[in-house]
Amino acid sequence: MAERKVKSGRNGRAAFAVAPEQAKAAELFVGNELDGRLTIAEIAEQVGVSERTIYRWKQDPEFLAYQNYLADLLMEDFITEAYVRLRGLVRADNEKTQLKALELLLKNRGKLTDVKEITATVEDNRSDEALAAEIEELKKALGE
């Protein structure tokens, strides 16, 4: 099985050393995540390899990286759909639904953040004389 580099469509940045059969299997696995219709045996048959080969590929970091890359591309495709759905929820009849959708939208766009207040109390029980002595030591260490 000859390996080839599979380049991404995004400025050719990502390159994966996977064989054409591995590329096809990865595409089938990613597509199968949506509809779950194919078994590993069926994917192996469509690709023209044994199930054992598929299981070996599933342990191969390069194959997994390519499969994850394809899954990421697929998820990018859903972002538009998610935003359209979110816009619909912002315009929903239910005010609680609207508020939750607006909160999610504003957080996603970085316009709304959770505010956390942190208070720290530091006690320093050193006397003025001890502090003055420490300052003198530091000055000597710095050569002043």
Residue 71: CATH number of its domain = 1.10.10
Does 28 map to a domain?
yes
Rounded (10°) CA dihedral 66, 23, 79, 13 = 50
Q: Are 90 and 58 in contact (CB under 8 A)?
A: no
Q: Are 66 and 58 in contact (CB under 8 A)?
A: no
Does 44 map to a domain?
yes
Q: Averaging pLDDT over each range in 12-26, 51-65, 104-118, which range is the top one?
A: 51-65
pLDDT at 6: 61
pLDDT, tens only, 77-92: 888 888 889 899 999 9
pLDDT at 83: 87
pLDDT at 23: 93
Does 123 map to a domain?
no
Rounded mean pLDDT of the chain?
A: 87
This prediction's pTM: 0.56
Residues spanned by the domain of 27: 4-79
Q: Model confidence at 114, in pLDDT bands (50, 70, 90)?
A: confident
Query: Based on the structure, what is the number of domains in the chain?
Result: 1
